[in-house]
Amino acid sequence: MRLRTLLALLGVLLCHVGSDGQQSSAGERPNIVVILADDLGYSDLGCYGGEIETPNLDQLAAEGLRFTQCYNTARCWPTRAALLTGYYAQQVHRDALPRLGGGGGGQRQSWARLLPDFLRPHGYRSYHSGKWHIDGDVLTAGFDRSLNIRNQGNYFTAQGNALDDVPLTAPPDEAGYYATIATVDHAIQCLQHHAADHADQPFFQYIAFTAPHFPLHALPADIARYADKYLDGWDELRRQRFAKQQSLGLLRTPLSAVERDLGPPYDFADALRKLGPGEVNRPRAWDELTAQQQAFQAAKMSIHAAMVDRMDREIGRLLQQLKTMGAYDDTLILFASDNGASAEIMVRDGGHDPAAAPGSAATYLCLGPGFSSASNTPFRRHKTWVHEGGISTPLIVHWPAGIAARGELRTTPAHVIDVVPTILDLLEVEKPDHWEGEAIPPAPGRSLAPAFASDVVVERDALWWLHEGNRAVRLGDWKLVAAKGKPWELYDLRTDRAEAHNLATQLPDQAAKLEAQWNRQLAEFSSLAAKTATNSQRPRNASANRP
């Protein structure tokens, strides 16, 4: 659907008045802001059922749309590749395929351009602030300015980060440094520079927070707002969040059962010794924990909440800058998460000092499977798995000048591969079919623009996942999913997004149909990736960025 058609359907006037009273043309191409959180659970935001204070994101949802069935790839780097290319990460060597390699060190093919390369010929300037975790440098990928938060092991230092792809050799005074604040400081500086020197051009801004990815580091004042809030435990928190989700009308599903024997996806046995007797690596029933364990786990969730709270506060500063520029109404804003909340437990980088205040720079804490289960309410499992808990993301879409709906839900299945085609469709930008003489293969994403106007289903063949042996395919409302080394499970997502009732043995023909679809797409992606198999190998100077 082209922009002219969309605007006609929505009844948007050719000229509109912005929230600051300035007049702008609705016929001009909008600015675009894509905000990506890291390891945020489906229910962490207030508007998706959470108790964490997220008034700015909640307001964007109230003024725009919430998609209830949007997906990512279950992991940091493949989601970023899919988000900015419009391809599944396996197609562009950014996640592994059997016998072909690929992953965090894989290099994209020359035709696998990022969104800024397609926007630049149409007058857009592009800015990046935050985590990168994509192969290659940022500016060579089409961005005009960048703050690359490469230090993902300590939120309180800028050591290791890069500005416009140049390493920071003399970081600024770090007495008050915090990565989430620094990310938005840079984003605002880019907007101010744009308003001063490029006001006649539209912009694309990509803001990729590291929060709330581990280590759980937060400002003391932010942690204090959630002190003792989670002492009732993860089981009660799941019940409370699910009840709120039901009142919001978000989902039709039962609440999944907690998998008490399912721990972190990777076993770091020494981490439990370093973290002390308060740590547990299974989501046991809360009343089975010792008082020390309950206090330790509740403190971790308080820090996680503080990180999400701070991210929302910083988003509020960004929104105020857009309003100051007179750009708020005619900026398309998308917010999502790169994967579900994480069950990981580990200690790395600077290690963990058990005597230090939880959440401070000397500590290294991870959320773990207990409160991760609550963050992913009502779904099963966590980051890295491709059950719903690992791949479901909030998707908030806000564009007052282009979307008439306010506070509505959209139930069509969606995926981060849809972001690029959606933006190009809305801007009436034709993606080239060749790049430097090389054919650009068809991309699997679909434009979500029709769903901006009304709650319609965006038609597609299927949605597909593979990550570290975990695999899934969704065809209509049917989903086939399997953990690594485990048999296929079949679910009817119309009534069972929680994946509670496995129908594989009852409906073997349906399961076989979906398995055939998964295998077809695996073969197609493998055939494409095999043409440039050397790109899938980790280069010797691969980025030190880690998930």
For position 24, what pLDDT does the model report? 35
Contact 499, 254 (CB under 8 A): no
83 pLDDT above the threshold of 60: yes
Percent of the chain with pLDDT over 70: 92
Residue 68 has a pLDDT of: 98
In a domain? residue 274? yes
Q: Are 465 and 471 in contact (CB under 8 A)?
A: yes
- Read off the pLDDT of residues 388-398 as tens digits, 9 standing for 90 and up: 999 999 999 99
Q: Grade residue 26 by pLDDT with cuts at 50, 70 and 90.
A: very low
Which one, of 21, 4, 40, lies nearest residue 335 by Cα? Answer: 40
β-partners of residue 463 are: 474
> Exposed/middle/buried for 247, CB within 10 Å: 0-12, 13-18, 19+?
exposed
Distances from the Cα of 335 to the Cαs of 38, 58, 66, 242, 510, in angstroms?
A: 11, 11, 10, 22, 34
Out of 89-103, 159-173, 272-286, which region has the weakest mean confidence (pLDDT)?
159-173
Is the pLDDT assigned to residue 8 strictly greater than 50?
A: no
| pLDDT at 175 (0 to 100) | 79
Average pLDDT over residues 141-148: 98
Give the largest CA-CA distance in the chain.
65
Mean pLDDT of 9-25: 35
What is the reported pLDDT for 458?
97
Question: Is pLDDT of 1 > 60?
Answer: no
Query: Quick one: pLDDT band at residue 176, thresholds 50, 70, 90?
Result: confident
The answer to the question of residue 176 being in a domain is: yes
Predicted TM-score of the model (pTM)? 0.94
Q: For residues 534 and 547, give the distance between their C-alpha atoms in angstroms, rounded to a whole number.
A: 23
Domain count along the chain: 1
pLDDT tens figures, 183-212: 999 999 999 999 999 999 999 999 999 999
- The dihedral region occupied by 517, where left means phi > 0, alpha psi between -120 and 50, and beta the remainder, is alpha
Exposure of 106 in the CB half-sphere (CA atoms within 13 A): 28
Q: Give yes or no for residue 461 having a pLDDT over 80.
A: yes
pLDDT value for 537: 67
Q: If you average pLDDT over residues 54-59, what whole number do you get?
A: 98
Contact 21, 7 (CB under 8 A): no
Query: Does residue 387 have a pLDDT over 80?
Result: yes
- Range 309-319 average pLDDT: 98
- The two tokens of residue 258 are 């907690």
Residue with tokens 């009343």: 287
Please state which of the ranges 257-271, 320-334, 497-511, 527-541 shows the lowest mean pLDDT.
527-541
Measure the CA angle with vertex 350, ends 348 and 355; round to 5°.
Answer: 105
What is the pLDDT, as a whole number, of residue 171? 67
pLDDT of 265 above 50: yes
CA distances from 135 to 164, 211, 544 (A): 15, 21, 11
Residue range 144-172: average pLDDT? 92
> Sorting pLDDT into bands at 50, 70 and 90, what band is 547?
low
- pLDDT the model gives residue 3: 43
Distances in whole angstroms, Cα of residue 417 to Cα of each of 33, 80, 106, 117, 392: 16, 10, 18, 16, 14
State which residues form the domain around 133.
3-15+38-94+104-455
Distance CA 170, CA 173 (A): 9
β strands within 83-208, DSSP E? 125-130, 145-148, 162-163, 166-167, 203-208
Average pLDDT over every residue of 119-127: 97
Instruction: Please give the structure tokens belonging to residue 235.
Output: 């089981």
Is pLDDT of 233 > 70? yes
Residue type, 11: G
pLDDT at residue 34 greater than cutoff 80: yes
User: 49 exposed, middle or buried (CB, 10 Å; 0-12, 13-18, 19+)?
Assistant: buried
pLDDT of residue 56: 98
Position 526 in a domain: no
Q: How confident is the model at residue 13 (pLDDT cuts 50, 70, 90)?
A: very low
493-532: pLDDT as tens digits: 999 999 999 999 999 999 999 999 999 999 999 999 999 9
CA gap 130, 381 in Å, rounded: 27
Domain for residue 130, yes or no? yes
Using a 10 angstrom Cβ sphere, with 0-12 exposed, 13-18 middle and 19 or more buried, the burial of residue 169 is exposed
Determine, yes or no, domain membership for 492.
no
Q: What is the pLDDT of residue 139?
A: 98
What CATH number does the domain containing 449 carry? 3.40.720.10
pLDDT of residue 535: 86
User: Residues 283-300: pLDDT tens digits?
Assistant: 999 999 999 999 999 999
Query: What is the spatial distance between Cα 125 and Cα 98, in angstroms, rounded to a whole number?
Result: 38
